[in-house]
Chain A
Amino acid sequence: MSYSCTQLPLAIGFPFIVSLLLLAVGRWLPDFLGKILAYAGFLLPAVIGIVAWIRFGEHVNPETGYAYLVTLPFGLKSLGIAMTLGLNGISMPLFVLAGIVGAAAGFQAINNGPDENKPLYFGLLLFILSGLLGVFASVDVFFFYFFHEFALIPTFILILCWGGLGRRTAAIQMAVYLTLGAMISLAGIIMLYIKTGSQSFDLIALKQAVATAPLDACSQSMIFGLLLFGFGILVSLFPFHSWAPPAYTEAPTPVSMLHAGVLKKFGLYGLIQLGAMLLPLGLERWAPLLLWLALGNIVIIGLVTMSQRHLKEMISYSSVMHMGPCFLGIVAYSAYVGGGSAGIGAAVMMMFAHGLSVALLFVLCQGVYKRAGTFEFGEIGGLTKNAPVLAGFFIAATMASIGLPGFANFWGELGIFVSLGNLPPWQLALAVSSIVISAIYGLRAVANVFFGSQSEPLKNHLATHPARDITISERLASIILLAALVAVGFYPKLITDPLDKVLKQDFSTTAPAALPPDCQDKPSAPPAAETTLASNSTHR
């Protein structure tokens, strides 16, 4: 087996095995050995991801658009489920994102983590990380879903063991919401499998099945609806977002980083790869509603974010709000908006950039808490005096999240807004207001926390807990994230080159065909494999 075949299984399997090892026998391992193992588990995927990114061009198969394809002996053959791993232009940036954020979260967890029960903490985080890597490396839709659910129980336990004061409610709320969302999307995935009649969960096979025998508009619309609401809950689409801010606020920082930064992209990725690509007519049917919901994310959640006075809660809400533009990028692909496939590409760029910037903000926010002892704006102020470097990083992160040129976020937002060009001006204005709104809350947070005079509570706190500037480990975590943001910000081709190939191949550059008449009006023609089934059923 050559390296190109083994690297993806290695990237997913290594953290997984380390995680099981730490969970099973971690208590009896010496402390330093546990730490070394954890470091290896967190860093190896990032290294593999970056190497895979660099060598992507030479390994990509022009026919399928995938590189590093490998099938492992997992899954249920008789149902057409096989663990096929591979990366294409869309999944590769997200895979690398998972690796980078994982490495940063690892630094944060190992150096600023809890003092007791460390093996459990590292083990659960690594478990989440291996799942995240698996999500984006899976070509098989079943495993795509399966890996996503890896995160549920570990996140639940991590929030309960090491979370903030509101952990009790936040944890159960998150678990129920995420399961409901996952179940609805699972129904959509299974319906897609049944309706295409491809006898396989493999994305490439599904693509071919749809290319040879496209689904009728009615099934497309039904499946897309299931995927939209299922994934919508997972991505915190307005108005299904209410689980996300409390969960991110209460979770320990590395969990918030992985969850808000990477895991949430699962739904958007699914909506792009399954929704927009396989079910263009479904997207067409739901585009008007999705447009409004995405604007709800931007405007309504944006206003809610502006009113926050708690730093971590504000960042949590901002991560919900930034899902709005990503959804808009997907809507732009529909003929209803008519932005072509550029919106999809910009959405992927935005997902990549947002994942890095929100993780960075969570690291720095924890840094602020460590020094000021609180997240409340009113009780901080003038922290620059004590921690100038932290302030510098925080300002950079805020600028990135606003979408200043020079950071990857800029290209994402720019692309999305350009692809929305055909919208009526007032709708476009609402969409673009996201930049203004993020500037308002972001800059106000910077002003309140780092500038101005120090508040009385902060002075009292600093008198008893003298604060030093950002530590090496915090710096390392921040630098990894910031470097990736800036690198892509200055040289976006790193992402757009492979992305363009996929978009050209799998997404028509012109808008999809116009919507056929309402599906109730014409008798629905079930696909060939379903004929016997449908003809024999008299009910429903």
Chain B
Amino acid sequence: MQAFFAQAGTDALTKTLHAVNDTNAWSSLTPEIGIALLAVLTLVFEMILPKSLRNVIPNLALIGIAALIGGLIPSLCHTSQAEYEPIFGGLIYQTEGLFAGVLPSTTLLRVFFLTAAFFVIFLGARYLKKRDLPVTEFLHIVLVVTGALMLLVQSNNFVMLFVALETITVGFYILVGYNRKSNASLEAGVKYLVMGGLSSALLLFGIVLLYGVAGNPELNKEIAAAGIDAMNFDVLKDFIAAHPTNPLVLAGISLVIGGIAFKIGAFPFQIWVPDVYQGAPTPTTAFLAVASKAAGIFTLMLLISGPFISLVVSSNGARPLYWLLAAVTGMTLIFSNITALGQTNTKRLMGLSGVSHAGFLLLAILAAAQPNANNGLAASAIIIYLIAYLAGAIATFGVMAEMPGLDDSTQSSSDYQLLVKRSPFLAGILGCSVGSLAGIPPSLGFVAKFLVIVAALQAQLYCLAAIALLCVGAGVYYYFAWLREAFQRTWISEERAKELSTPIEVSVPSRIVLATLATIILIGGIVQSFLQILL
């Protein structure tokens, strides 16, 4: 092994390690370090606190996350147009403010992931306690995964990207199968493990192909001369631009995109989504839907605007990656909406409709990659769409978690019958959140969809925009079929009526969080001026 390194690239390796050592800037990773400390602290508290006091651990985690978000706010308000240098020898690239070029800044993305983790921990603590499952371990893994998510979107090197992505995936293996008492959860865990392993293999194979071909001194004279690292995005960008038709490059890129499509749940790697979403504990499903999808989308943006850009935007008209992504986007939208039409299991429905949301996000990514289109608008549309999805999906999952019954993997829309009588509060929240997911004004979801469509039409993606618009119509069918059960005055048997006569109690903290999310949805939809800062 050592001999291999000595021959293949001792110089490169040692130089990289030296560079990492020279340019480390640990202070700029304070939030990640903080979240890692928080993760360790939860375990320590679990050991040292007496049983009666362990209930405070989730609250401590929530306070910690809130503090970290607060700490990032100043650099979010930072608006200087400074040139940012990669740190840690090119492993990590950080930007400040809200947007850096056409990409959302990494600071904004870190805040996004921290916010998602905040809500997931809030949901998880209540959900797991109700089912008598260990809470602290869940918190620990969620926090570790959050740290990895934050690192993933800052990576500037395939090694960093792969390590972060694997940390996330391994964390999710555990989270998906977390409910050991439930067969559905275990089944979902196995399925996610097998499919996730496959996708990691694809991704790794793609990375290796790219590394191999870009590191080949025959092809890449600069590498041999300077001894720089062919895993680095900047190096790969130059290499791919110089060799856009090399078959190994094309194969490597396709495999990398495939691995990321798995994370997003994009066609043809969407098959795992309904099963895993259904079986996983609801907080995990929420985390998977919001954070994992967002991570995949941001990684794709990072790659498309960075190393792969010459295959999306090219002067000679050959844009293989553009056509690949366009096909994936179209098929993702069509597949998800057709399969969701007949779905009555609410968690499977959320999974399939989540795939449809991924399709909308892919559409915005394509629009952002178009030359001379309003790329900034498309990037804003992605951020606003993800915020809308975060609020809508977490609120919906929150309502699902509040529904009575311990096994929610079999929860179907008919379980929501007479919800408007049993808990007008939950029915109202469901109306807001599902309406926002369907993209109906006056909700944030509408504004997000509107921006995506404007960006797509400005980028002249007429065909895909038409598909997306039709999918909104299909979405209304399956989303409103769910709302219909919740609101419909209906005739039911006496036994069922007895079952449904008990009102559903919602605790005060849950009420506050759900009401806050609904308010965000409505305020964002009605007073759109608040979104102006993101445009």
Contact = CB atoms under 8 A, between A and B. Distances in A.
B480 A156 contact: yes
Given A180-B470, A191-B457, A540-B463, A186 B450 contact: yes
B142 to A, nearest CB: 32
B487 A161 contact: yes
B403 interface: no
Interface stretch (A170-178, A309-317, A483-491, A500-508): A170-178
A58 B392 CA distance: 47
A156 B460 CA distance: 34
Nearest to B458: A194
B219 interface: no
A141 B442 CA distance: 15
Grouping DSSP codes into helix (H, G, I), strand (E, B) and loop, the B interface class, with mixed when no group exceeds half, is helix
A156 B483 contact: yes
Interface string B485-528: 00111000000000000000000000000000000000000111
Contact of A183 (B460, B462, B473, B477): B473
B476 A540 contact: no
A179 B472 contact: yes
B480 A190 contact: no
A187 interface: yes
Contact of A76 (B435, B462, B465, B531): B531
A312 B69 CA distance: 58
Contact of A150 (B370, B442, B450, B535): B442
A18 B450 CA distance: 28
Interface in A31-78: 73-78
Given A161-B489, A167-B488, A179 B470 contact: no
B371 A536 contact: yes
A149 B488 CA distance: 21
A183 B440 contact: no
B215 interface: no
Nearest to A149: B441
Given A75-B529, A152-B440, A183-B470, A533 B460 contact: yes
Contacts of B28: none
B373 A533 contact: yes
A194 B480 contact: no
B528 to A, nearest CB: 5
B372 A168 contact: no
B457 A187 contact: yes
Contact of A179 (B462, B476, B528): B476
A6 B435 CA distance: 31
B50 interface: no
Contacts of B526: 74
A146 interface: yes
B442 A74 contact: no
Interface in A180-214: 180, 183-184, 186-187, 190-191, 193-194
B349 to A, nearest CB: 15
A532 B372 contact: yes
A534 to B, nearest CB: 8
Given A179-B473, A194-B457, A76 B440 contact: no
B477 A172 contact: yes
Nearest to A73: B529
B438 to A, nearest CB: 8
A193 B377 CA distance: 15
A167 B420 CA distance: 17
15 contacts: A76-B531, A76-B532, A79-B535, A149-B442, A150-B442, A153-B440, A163-B489, A168-B488, A172-B477, A176-B477, A187-B453, A187-B469, A194-B454, A534-B460, A540-B463
4 pairs of A and B residues whose beta carbons are closest in the complex: A149-B441, A180-B473, A183-B469, A179-B476
Interface of B: 317, 370-373, 377, 420, 424, 428, 431, 435, 438, 440-442, 446-447, 450, 453-454, 457-458, 460, 462-463, 465-466, 469-470, 472-473, 476-477, 480-481, 483-484, 487-489, 526-529, 531-532, 535
